[in-house]
Amino acid sequence: MGSWLDETLTWGNALIFFLWGVILLAIVLGFVTYAIFFERKVIGWMQFRIGPNRVGPWGLLQTVADITKLLIKEDTIPRKADRVLFILAPALAYVPAFAVLAVIPYTQNLYFADINVGLLYYVALSGISTIAIVLGGWASNNKYALLGGMRSAAQMISYEVPLVISVVGVVMLSGSLNLRTIAEQQGDWFWQWNFLPQIIGFVIFVIAAVSELNRTPFDLPEAESELVAGYHVEYSGFRFAFFMLTEYVYVYAIAALTTVLFLGGWHAPAPFLDFVPGIIWFLLKFSFIVFFLFWIRATMPRIRIDQLMGLGWKVLLPLAILNVFLTAVYMELFIKG
Whether residue 194 is found in the same domain as residue 330 = yes
As a whole-number percent, the residues of the chain with pLDDT over 90 amount to 38
The residue among 39, 57, 72 that closes a domain is: 72
Q: How confident is the model at residue 305 (pLDDT cuts 50, 70, 90)?
A: confident
Whether residue 49 is found in the same domain as residue 138 = no
SS3 string of 162-211?
A: HHHHHCHHHHHHHCCCCHHHHHHCCCCCHHHCCCCCCHHHHHHHHHHHHH
CA-wise closest residue to 319 among 208, 176, 220:
208
Whether the per-residue pLDDT at 7 is higher than 60: the answer is no
Whether residue 83 is found in the same domain as residue 196 = yes
Q: Count the helices and strands in the chain (H runs, E runs).
A: 15, 0
Highest mean pLDDT among 142-151, 281-290, 326-335: 281-290
Q: What is the pLDDT of residues 246-264, one digit of tens each?
A: 889 999 999 999 999 999 8
Mean pLDDT of the chain: 87
Whether residue 46 is found in the same domain as residue 83 = no
Whether residue 159 is found in the same domain as residue 246 = yes
Domain housing 66 = 1-72
The residue among 56, 72, 88 that closes a domain is: 72
Q: How confident is the model at residue 300 (pLDDT cuts 50, 70, 90)?
A: confident
Whether residue 198 is found in the same domain as residue 65 = no
Q: What is the pLDDT of residues 94-131, one digit of tens each?
A: 889 888 998 999 988 888 888 888 899 999 998 888 89
Whether residue 89 is found in the same domain as residue 186 = yes
DSSP state of 263: S
Whether the per-residue pLDDT at 166 is higher than 90: the answer is yes
Using CA atoms, how far apart are residues 29 and 16, in angstroms rounded to an integer? 20
DSSP string, 93-162: HHHHHHHGGGG--SSSS--S---TTHHHHHHHHHTHHHHHHHHHHHHTT-HHHHHHHHHHHHHHHHHHHH
Using CA atoms, how far apart are residues 268 and 130, in angstroms rounded to an integer? 36
Give the chain's domain count: 2
Whether residue 20 is found in the same domain as residue 159 = no
Question: 213: exposed, middle or buried (C-beta count within 10 Å: 0-12, 13-18, 19+)?
Answer: buried
Whether the per-residue pLDDT at 9 is higher than 70: the answer is no
| Distance spanning both ends of the chain, measured CA to CA | 45
Using CA atoms, how far apart are residues 29 and 251, in angstroms rounded to an integer? 12
Whether the per-residue pLDDT at 337 is higher than 80: the answer is no
- CA atoms in the 13 A half-sphere facing the CB of 312: 24
Whether the per-residue pLDDT at 5 is higher than 70: the answer is no
Of residues 171 and 148, the one with the higher pLDDT is 171
Q: How confident is the model at residue 280 (pLDDT cuts 50, 70, 90)?
A: very high
Using CA atoms, how far apart are residues 134 and 152, in angstroms rounded to an integer? 8
Residues whose CB is less than 8 angstroms from the CB of residue 120 and which lie 6 or more positions away in sequence, other chains included: 177
Whether residue 3 is found in the same domain as residue 147 = no
Q: Taking the model in full, what pTM does it have?
A: 0.90
CB atoms within 10 A of CB 163: 24
Q: How confident is the model at residue 1 (pLDDT cuts 50, 70, 90)?
A: very low
The residue among 72, 105, 130 that closes a domain is: 72
- pLDDT value, residue 233: 86
- pLDDT value, residue 109: 85
Q: What is the pLDDT of residues 34-90, one digit of tens each?
A: 999 999 999 999 989 888 888 888 889 999 998 889 888 888 888 888 889 999 999
Q: What angle do CA 13, 15, 21 make, to 5 degrees?
A: 105
